[in-house]
C-alpha cells in the first residue's frame, strides 16, 4: 500500500528541514544492505552528528527542488539510495561511513554535495583522511603553547644574560 499525499508531503518537509541543517549530503547505494546493516550505519553516524535517511528518489527530488545548495544532488538520484546528512564532524562521519562500507562490502558512495559543490569519490576520500576536529584543535593548542614557551624563555633570557654579564664583570676585578 502506498503512502498518502499528506504522508509524502510530511516526508518532503522533514527532508527539507534535515537538508537545511546539513553541511554535507552523501548519496549511498544501499542495495544488498539489511535493516540490521542500516541500523548499524545509523548508530555509527549518530555519534558523529550524521544521520542516514532512506527515502524514495522522487521525494528527495521534491525536497531539493528550488535549492541552489543541493541542486547537484539530483544527478545522483538513480537506483536504490540512502542519504547521509552531516552537520558538524564531517571528517568523522565520512570515516565512519568508510569503515562501515569496508566492514559490510555491500554499499558504495555515489557522490556528495558540500557547500553547493558536487564531490567526486577522490574528494570524499580526501576529506575523510583529514584529522578530526579535536586533533586539529590539539595541534593548534600545541603550536600556541610552543610559541608562548619560547617567548617566555627569550624574555627571561634578557635579565639572566644581563645578570651573568654583570657578575662576570664584578668577579673579573676590573673597574
Domain ranges for the chain, please list them: 5-130, 131-175
Task: Identify the bridge partners of residue 54 per DSSP, sorted by sequence position.
Answer: 82
Average pLDDT over residues 1-28: 85
Superfamily holding 5-130: Ribosomal protein L10, N-terminal RNA-binding domain (3.30.70.1730)
| In the chain, % of residues over pLDDT 90 | 10
Instruction: Report pLDDT digits (tens) over 20-71.
Output: 888 889 998 888 888 998 899 899 888 888 899 998 989 999 998 888 888 8
3-state secondary structure of 92: helix
The rounded distance, in Å, linking the Cα atoms of 112 and 148 is 41
Amino acid at each position: 500500500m502506498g503512502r498518502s499525499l499528506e504522508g509524502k508531503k510530511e516526508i518532503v518537509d522533514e527532508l527539507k528541514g534535515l537538508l537545511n541543517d546539513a553541511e554535507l549530503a552523501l548519496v549511498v547505494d544501499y542495495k544488498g544492505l539489511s535493516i540490521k546493516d542500516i541500523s548499524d550505519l545509523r548508530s555509527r553516524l549518530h555519534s558523529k552528528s550524521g544521520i542516514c535517511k532512506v527515502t524514495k528518489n522522487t521525494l528527495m527530488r521534491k525536497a531539493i527542488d528550488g535549492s541552489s545548495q543541493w541542486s547537484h544532488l539530483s544527478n545522483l538520484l538513480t537506483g536504490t539510495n540512502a542519504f547521509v546528512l552531516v552537520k558538524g564532524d564531517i571528517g568523522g562521519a565520512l570515516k565512519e561511513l568508510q569503515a562501515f562500507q569496508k566492514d559490510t562490502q555491500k554499499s558504495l558512495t555515489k557522490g556528495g554535495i558540500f557547500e553547493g559543490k558536487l564531490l567526486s569519490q577522490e574528494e570524499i576520500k580526501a576529506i575523510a583522511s583529514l584529522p578530526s576536529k579535536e586533533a586539529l584543535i590539539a595541534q593548534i593548542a600545541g603550536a600556541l603553547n610552543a610559541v608562548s614557551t619560547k617567548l617566555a624563555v627569550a624574555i627571561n633570557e634578557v635579565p639572566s644574560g644581563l645578570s651573568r654579564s654583570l657578575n662576570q664583570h664584578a668577579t673579573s676585578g676590573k673597574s
